[in-house]
A and B are shown apart, each in its own frame.
Chain A
């Protein structure tokens, strides 16, 4: 066997190892129902859940609690997933900036007992880079 062949085989082997490991590390987007099922089966790999904040009729956020004077590392809120299932989420960190303004929230973590413990929160704020409205102040004619 020529050396180039050995190198070729080694490269392919490493590439396959990379693909397999990545497939193992990759997380998935699930609903709260699936997240609960996974937790009951004893599966502890973190998952992604996409949802919106629970809001009342007046568009106020419901079920959100953050009091830094008591514990700056405890933040909890209620998320409604795409199947309209509600779930209390706990985040052992400070409340992310701009949380209330987010249109969509992606949480990464897992169910523990009756709470979803998030390791990471990603926010999607649609207004962040495009402004499609002229503010009324600037429109003073």
Chain B
């Protein structure tokens, strides 16, 4: 039965949210119009606030309706049908919510409402002008999910569209307009990963958070409060920088764990689109700090804060308008919103530039020139380096946009992204990393002291000496074979400056901790960045392919010298030597619900009627505890197959097992995910590149019959087998045996390469009809059929088919010191959090002096600290 109520409720909420956003934007605008900050028209402001509350409630209504549709499997709705399915666990239903474009817009809208409420409650003085900006943004975003068609103009794409309205031409709806599909088409299997539950909300919170400093900057320009906006905006900018950075790295970790391009960062436009605004935002944070310290750099701060938000809009436009076309592997589908997205972006670019131009001359600037002994000067240079780095990525990522633009004005261009993107980006980004590492060390040392030549060289001496000693040690160890041997001079430079940044900032932490621990946020964040740089240098620069093809078998020798032959073929149970390892592929495994290990496919009897269930063929035991008995029904995840690869380390004799995954999915084809052996000093990363295609390649040979007696020996596909006996069977899986029915099974023992196998083909007489249930031994590529029984002579006929032996194509690589990248990310985040605490503490101190405070003494303390 089609439930139209929930969709109508959702759609009504969308319209209400849209209208309320318009009312809120207008009211807040009117409240603030021609009024100085803090003296807004109270009636308009109240109306604006009420409208924003209504908007927030309506947004919650949309979310609840959409989630209800997904959670209750209401497949009459296109959104549930195309993003969910019956067998999806609840936590992945949350991912369904934002798999589609509409849901991800909704997520973004939702974060804006929360942040807006935060401003209404905690930044009352700035409420009217900043919330006017917020509500204006919400007006654009809610219009994206409006789903209204006026004539030829389509405004937004509604998540509440019924399946029958989405595809009115489908024949099934002509027959029965009330048809509801029984199951959805499911969530993209690559997104069925716990990181995908948390990564998108984090990233969108980061997107949303950049709006706050932007709104403060706009309010500052508009109200002529050119300096006061900095203080409340700074903690928000830090918060946005933290969340956006963490969100990006979560995406990187997901890619490392789930995709199989062999790394965490691919310079894909979708990744770059977030990296660019993050760099600019971090630069903006630094110029805001310069302003707080020496009243310089206010113009730049305005520009950078505004640009970082505009770049978020540009990122949205890039990834969602379909403009990237062939350039990205994972872009959203074009919902026909390009025009709307472009309008949204253009509106804010025009608004921001107009405000800046109008007020530019009035923004105060300092006359005094910064000298090279001012730490602010070097922080400023650092911000410049970050911006140049951002510009470089932006310029290359936008190449598809140039083509589209030229096409728009009628010129055909054929510009493509660089063929080797990694080399192209590394060429610049590496030097940006070098610049940042040096400057973060030097500027941090200078920031906390008065500088002249002598004091500066004193401060620099200790970290510089430590760096030289440490890096020399690493280089020597590399030559001795401990860790990778580093001989690329560019990499040595990066290593030097990264260690310098670590030591310089670490030294600063020791000095500052005595004064006040919370001051060390900046130094901690810088150490995090330096550690990330070292992690990237090793894991990417010295990643080695373990799975070099050493078999000597080559298809063609046309251009052998320049080709990396990175894949090896592993036949089941045939060990292969690979570097310092000996690998064996030991079969296909599956996940069984409520069982701690993967289970061999051979122990599971798949049910034809329900692909999500299977019968256990043996007891499923783990550590002496029997979880399932033979014949029990177990729940499985049918699309995931795990390929058991046993690694034997030749030197030490240690073994470990990896289970790289492949998903064979009707909708998406073959998808491989790696399995990673995490080590302290390096990760071993393994994925299957291809597997034997069961339907196409598994051609069985013609049946060959063997007439044998008990105890006789047979030769099957090069293996020796013995017929051990014939035994009656009372229970046959899937068949109801009556009183007069008979079932017997042959017990064949086959001697494989490493172990013995038992084959049990069945011979059944049910209702006087003969049935044969063959038994397959996948390891050996054998299928045994119990053909007939000659009761007079006590001889039995066993039919044998043989097939291609199971194999996988495997790629494995080693990634040294990759853990430093993840540790560095955590350290950087910690630094951000400390800085947020410190800077929001300052904001509170300000509030207290205006008469709203609680603890006078503490605020006094903070102020002193701020003056340091």
Q: Evaluate contact between B326 and A19: CB separation under 8 angstroms.
A: no
Q: Evaluate contact between A11 and B555: CB separation under 8 angstroms.
A: no
Closest to A46 in B: B419
Interface flags, A3-33, vs B, CB<8A=1, else 0: 1100100010011001101100111111000
Check: A59 CB closer than 8 A to any chain B CB.
no
Inside 8 A of A27's CB, which chain B residues have their CB? 416-419
Q: Evaluate contact between B809 and A120: CB separation under 8 angstroms.
A: no
Neighbour of B396 across the interface among A22, A47, A48, A72, CB < 8 A: A22
Give the complex CA separation of A69 and B553 in angstroms.
Answer: 9
Interface flags, B360-377, vs A, CB<8A=1, else 0: 000000000110100001
Inside 8 A of B167's CB, which chain A residues have their CB? 132-134
Inside 8 A of A18's CB, which chain B residues have their CB? 388, 391-392, 395, 428
Residue of B185, B419, B553, B556 with most partner-chain A CB within 10 A: B419
Check: A68 CB closer than 8 A to any chain B CB.
yes
Closest to B78 in A: A131
Inside 8 A of B672's CB, which chain A residues have their CB? 97
Q: Evaluate contact between A25 and B369: CB separation under 8 angstroms.
A: no
Give the complex CA separation of A133 and B415 in angstroms.
Answer: 35
Q: Evaluate contact between B667 and A127: CB separation under 8 angstroms.
A: yes
Q: Evaluate contact between B388 and A11: CB separation under 8 angstroms.
A: yes
Contacts known (A3-B369, A46-B420, A108-B419); A129 close to B182, Cβ less than 8 A: no
Q: Evaluate contact between A71 and B554: CB separation under 8 angstroms.
A: yes
Give min CB distance, B150 to chain A, whole Å.
24
Q: Evaluate contact between B566 and A73: CB separation under 8 angstroms.
A: yes
Interface flags, B543-555, vs A, CB<8A=1, else 0: 0000001000111
Contacts known (A73-B549, A124-B326); A94 close to B395, Cβ less than 8 A: no
Check: B359 CB closer than 8 A to any chain A CB.
no
Give the contacts of A96-121 with B (CB-CB under 8 A): 97-98, 101, 104, 106, 108-109, 112-113, 115, 117, 119-120
Give min CB distance, A79 to chain B, whole Å.
14
Q: Evaluate contact between A134 and B419: CB separation under 8 angstroms.
A: no
Inside 8 A of B811's CB, which chain A residues have their CB? 94
Give the contacts of B308-337 with A (CB-CB under 8 A): 326, 329, 332-333
Interface flags, B216-249, vs A, CB<8A=1, else 0: 0000000000000000000000000000000000
Neighbour of B419 across the interface among A45, A95, A104, A113, CB < 8 A: A45
Contacts known (A71-B555, A141-B176); A22 close to B395, Cβ less than 8 A: yes
Closest to B672 in A: A97
Give the complex CA separation of A41 and B388 in angstroms.
Answer: 36
Q: Evaluate contact between A68 and B565: CB separation under 8 angstroms.
A: no
Check: A50 CB closer than 8 A to any chain B CB.
yes
Give min CB distance, A87 to chain B, whole Å.
15
Inside 8 A of A104's CB, which chain B residues have their CB? 326
Give min CB distance, A69 to chain B, whole Å.
6
* Tally of contact residues, B, Cβ under 8 A: 64
Give the complex CA separation of A128 and B414 in angstroms.
Answer: 26
Check: B807 CB closer than 8 A to any chain A CB.
yes
Q: Evaluate contact between A25 and B424: CB separation under 8 angstroms.
A: yes
Q: Evaluate contact between A26 and B416: CB separation under 8 angstroms.
A: yes
Check: A57 CB closer than 8 A to any chain B CB.
no
Check: A80 CB closer than 8 A to any chain B CB.
no
Q: Evaluate contact between A130 and B82: CB separation under 8 angstroms.
A: yes
Give min CB distance, B583 to chain A, whole Å.
14
Closest to B372 in A: A3
Closest to B181 in A: A138
Give the complex CA separation of A70 and B651 in angstroms.
Answer: 30
Give the complex CA separation of A63 and B563 in angstroms.
Answer: 22
Check: B121 CB closer than 8 A to any chain A CB.
no
Residue of B391, B563, B811 with most partner-chain A CB within 10 A: B563
Give the contacts of A42-60 with B (CB-CB under 8 A): 45-48, 50
Give the contacts of B165-187 with A (CB-CB under 8 A): 167, 170, 172, 175-176, 179, 181-183, 185
Query: Which 5 residue pairs of A and B lie closest in terms of their CB atoms, listed nearest first?
Result: A74-B555, A71-B555, A46-B419, A98-B669, A94-B689
Inter-chain pairs besides A7-B381, A22-B396, 9 sampled, C-beta below 8 Å: A14-B388, A18-B428, A26-B415, A48-B419, A71-B553, A112-B558, A115-B558, A122-B326, A134-B170
A-B contact pairs, 20 of them (CB 8 A): A25-B396, A26-B416, A27-B418, A29-B414, A48-B419, A66-B690, A68-B807, A69-B569, A92-B565, A104-B326, A112-B558, A112-B559, A131-B185, A131-B667, A132-B167, A134-B170, A134-B181, A141-B172, A141-B176, A141-B179
| Residues on B facing A (Cβ under 8 Å) | 82, 163, 167, 170, 172, 175-176, 179, 181-183, 185, 188, 326, 329, 332-333, 369-370, 372, 377, 381, 384, 388, 391-392, 395-396, 399, 414-420, 424, 427-428, 549, 553-556, 558-559, 563-569, 667-672, 689-690, 807, 809, 811
